[in-house]
Structure 1
Amino acid sequence: MVTDIVISVVLLLLGIAVLAVIHMCIVGRLFREGYLNGDLVQRVNAPTVTISSEDLDNLPCFDYAGGIGDRGTSNGPGDCAVCLESFKVGEKCRSLPDCSHSFHAQCIDSWLLKTPICPICRTHVVVRSRSFKNLVEETRVPGDVTIELT
């Protein structure tokens, strides 16, 4: 019985030693690759991209019209992920260009001014200026283009 205890303690210490060696190998590899020599800190402190309030005006905006079977509010995909409120018919909403997620306009505007990523899928929001060339490409209407100046 005493020999069983001694064998168990020896195996326990041997297992701890093996885990310590594996840990030292991993940490040594990280040091050799430069992860702990400042490269990781540089990536964390890298400047973040920001969105100005003028850029927000270039994001698509629409009035919520409701879905099939809606009675003024919606459930599920008709909820704003920022404020967690349901969209109501007639509210001003905004759609993000790359992922097409929709939010209340004022909710997503305040979110994007702080963090320029989609709160649902974490896609970086890239605001493109809406030049004449972009507008023509977005409409994808072949033939003549009529511009109405107001």
Structure 2
Amino acid sequence: MVVEIVASVAILVAGVTLFVLIHVCIIGRTFSTITSGASMQSGTILISRIGSMSQEDIKKLPSYDFNMEEQKSLEKSTSECVVCLEKFKSGEKCKLLPSCNHSFHCECIDSWLVKTGACPICRALVDIGREEGSFPSEVGLELR
């Protein structure tokens, strides 16, 4: 019986050791990839390395008054802001990110973009380089 307990403990220790070694190898590989940048594709950017946006650039993003009736007619409409997790209400000021067409409450996305210049849903970089008239017309919103 003592032999069985010793064998069980030895197998348990060996299993935990193997698990820790695998974990260390995976973490080591991840950190070496991040620092060397060797395996990063040209369009891939880590969120932790994305800089914030200036207040001036954030003000350039298109905004609109949310209209429940218009949103119901759109196929790809979302009913809530993923930053604050509250439903959009008619008449609320919202902003549209031009690079991915995701919408958020103005205050919510402004505070998000001050910290990280990427969409909180798809992590696409926010592109403010477009002219206001060049946003996709499929959104069906009157932008200001």
TM-score norm. by structure 2 comes to 0.58
2:100 touches 2:124 (CA, 8 Å); kept in 1?
no
In structure 2, the residue matched to 1:59 is: 61
In structure 2, the residue matched to 1:12 is: 8
- Shift of the alpha carbon at 1:35? 4.6
- Pairwise CA RMSD of aligned residues? 4.0
Task: Flag structure 2 segments of 5+ consecutive residues without an equivalent.
Answer: 37-45, 138-144
Q: Which whole-Å CA distance do the structure 2 matches of 1:84 and 1:137 have between them?
A: 26
Q: Which whole-Å CA distance do the structure 2 matches of 1:97 and 1:30 have between them?
A: 36
In structure 2, the residue matched to 1:49 is: 51
Q: Report how many residues are paired.
A: 121
Q: Which whole-Å CA distance do the structure 2 matches of 1:64 and 1:34 have between them?
A: 42
1:55 touches 1:127 (CA, 8 Å); kept in 2?
no
Q: Which whole-Å CA distance do the structure 1 matches of 2:24 and 2:67 have between them?
A: 59
Q: Kindly tell me: are residues 6 and 81 of structure 1, through their superposed partners in 2, closer, same or farther at Cα, counting changes over 3 Å?
A: same
In structure 1, the residue matched to 2:110 is: 109
Q: Which amino acid aligns with 2:127?
A: V
Task: Flag structure 1 segments of 5+ consecutive residues without an equivalent.
Answer: 71-75, 140-150
In structure 2, the residue matched to 1:145 is: none
Q: Which whole-Å CA distance do the structure 2 matches of 1:136 and 1:116 have between them?
A: 20
In structure 1, the residue matched to 2:91 is: 90
TM-score norm. by structure 1 comes to 0.56
Q: Which amino acid aligns with 1:126?
A: V
Identity percentage of aligned residues:
32
Deviates more, 1:76-85 or 1:19-28: 19-28
- Shift of the alpha carbon at 1:9? 1.4
1:56 touches 1:127 (CA, 8 Å); kept in 2?
no
Secondary structure in structure 2 of the residue aligned to 1:103: strand
Q: Which whole-Å CA distance do the structure 1 matches of 2:24 and 2:18 have between them?
A: 10
1:98 touches 1:125 (CA, 8 Å); kept in 2?
yes
Secondary structure in structure 2 of the residue aligned to 1:67: helix
Deviations 1:51-105 (A, max 9, x none): 01121133222221213698xxxxx932222333332222221112233221111
